[in-house]
Structure 1
Amino acid sequence: MRAFVAVETGEDVRQKIAALEQGLPAGIRQVEAANLHMTLAFLGEIDETKAELVKDALEGISAVPFEVKCRGVGVFPSMSFVRVVWVGALSEGLRHLHAQIGSALEPLGFKKEEFSPHITIGIPKSRVDLHPFVRAHEDDDFGSFVVDRLILKKSTLTPAGPVYENVHVKRLG
C-alpha cells in the first residue's frame, strides 16, 4: 500500500480553506475539503508487515494534544516552477511531533525528512501564474485546530485524485 502519516485539520479550518480553493486559478486541481490533511511522514509503498511495524512505532510516540495555526498561502518549490499550492501551518508542537515520528520510523528503514509544515490545497495541471493569488492570500488567517491524533493513511491513486483510508489512529495524550 502507498502510505503516509498525517494529522487532519479541524472542520473550521477545512471550511475556510475550501472557500479559498474556490478562488484558485484555472489549471489547478483542488484538494477536496474532506481530504485536507498535513503529512508528517511519507512512507511510499509498504507491505502489511511493514504497516504493522509502523503502527507499533506510532503507538510508542508520547505527545500531548497541541494547537496548530494556519496562515498564509505559498507554493513549492518556487513561483517559477510550482508543484504544490499550500496553506502554511505554525506550531512548535508540530515540529516536535515530526521529529519524534522521524526517530520512531528511522529504525524501520525510513529516512528522516526535512519538514515544512503545510496543508496542500492544489496541484497544477498546467503552467499557471500564481503570483496574484499568492500575493492576495499570503497573510490570510485560516484559524487553528488541535492535533489530538496521528493517522497512518493509505492512499490509492485514481484518475479523479487520491482516495485516502485511515489504517491506524494513534490518540495523543
Structure 2
Amino acid sequence: MFIGIRPPAHVREALIDTMEALEGARWQDDEQLHLTMRFAGEVERETANDLAAALASIALPPFELELEGVSQFERKGMPTAIWARVRPAPELERLRAKTERACALAGLGGETRRFTPHITIARLNNHTGPIVDWLTHNSGLRANWQVDGFSLFESHLLASGAQYEVAVHYPLQGTESRTNS
C-alpha cells in the first residue's frame, strides 16, 4: 500500500507526451502516474483499516502543485528511473507530514527516506539508451493543477508490472484540523 496524489488528466497527458525517443525505457501507463507521499508496504488488513481511519482525520484545504522539468534517479552511477519534478510546496509538505503521523498512529514505522516530490515516468535498465538527450528535450515540462484530494492505494504486482487500485480516496476541503496538525 501507499499514499499518493493522482494528477488530473491534463497533467497525465503532458507526462504521456514525453514518453518517446528513449530506447529500452519501460514507460509508465496512465493508470500508474501518481505522486507517492508515503510507502506503507505490505500491511495486514487490520493495519490497513487503522491507516484508512487515521488518514480520514486529515483536514486541509485544496492547494496548487506544479511540475517543473524532469530528472533521474541513479543507483551505482546507472540511471534507474526518469521522473517529472514536482515543485516543493508548503501545503504538500503539510499533507505529507500529516500522512506520516497517520502512518505512525496505524503502527507503521517512520519513513527513513528523504521525500523528493516527483512522478515517475519510466523505469530504466542497462538496456536503456543514453538519456541525456531525452532529459534535455523534456527539461521545459510544466503543468499546474489543483490538488483536491489524495488516496490510499493498493499495489498489485503482475507479470506486466504494477497495477494500482484506489482503496480509499480522501477529498481535501475546509481548513486545517487542529487535532491532527
TM-score for both structures, normalised by structure 2: 0.87
Superposed displacement of residue 147, structure 1:
1.2
Structure 1 residue 39 displacement after superposition: 0.5
Q: Distance in 1 between matches of 2:123 and 2:14?
A: 18
Alignment match, 2:158? 158
Aligned to 2:108: 109
Superposed CA offset, 1:72-110 (max 9, x none): 010013693212210011132112211111122123223
Aligned to 2:176: none
CA contact (8 A) 2:54 2:102 kept: yes
1:55 match: 52
CA distance change for structure 1 residues 147 and 110 in 2, over 3 Å: closer, same or farther? farther
Give the structure with the larger strand fraction: 1
SS at match of 1:120: strand
For residues 27 and 101 of structure 1, the distance between their equivalents in structure 2, rounded to whole angstroms, comes to: 35
Q: Tell me, what secondary structure is at the counterpart of 1:45?
A: coil
Tell me if the contact between 1:79 and 1:131 (Cα under 8 Å) persists in the aligned partners: no
8 Å CA contact 2:2–2:40 kept in 1: the answer is yes
The whole-number CA distance in structure 2 between the counterparts of 1:31 and 1:79 is: 23
Mapped to 1, the partners of 2:20 and 2:64 lie a distance apart of 26
* Cα pair distance change 1:30/1:17, threshold 3 Å: same
- Report if the CA contact (8 A) 2:67-2:85 is conserved: yes
Q: Which runs of 5+ in 1 are unaligned?
A: none
Q: Indicate the percent of aligned positions where both proteins have the same amino acid.
A: 24
- Per the alignment, residue 40 of structure 1 pairs with 37
Which one is further off, 96-105 or 39-48? 96-105
CA distance in 2: counterparts of 1:121 and 1:92, whole angstroms: 24
TM-score (norm 1): 0.91
Matches within 5 A, 1:114-133: 114-128=114-128, 129-133=130-134
Report the residue type matching 1:110 in the other structure: G
TM-aligned CA distance change 1:77 to 1:63, over 3 Å: farther
C-alpha distance in structure 2 between counterparts of 1:156 and 1:26, whole Å: 26
The one-letter code of the counterpart of 1:134 is L
For residue 133 of structure 1, report the CA deviation from its aligned partner.
1.1
Contact 2:70 2:135 in 1 (8 A): yes
Contact persistence 2:79–2:125 (CA under 8 A): no
Q: How many residues align?
A: 169
Checking the alignment, whether the CA contact within 8 Å between 1:79 and 1:130 is kept in structure 2 is: no
Residue 127 of structure 1: how far off its partner (Å): 4.2
Structure 2 gap ranges (5+): 174-181
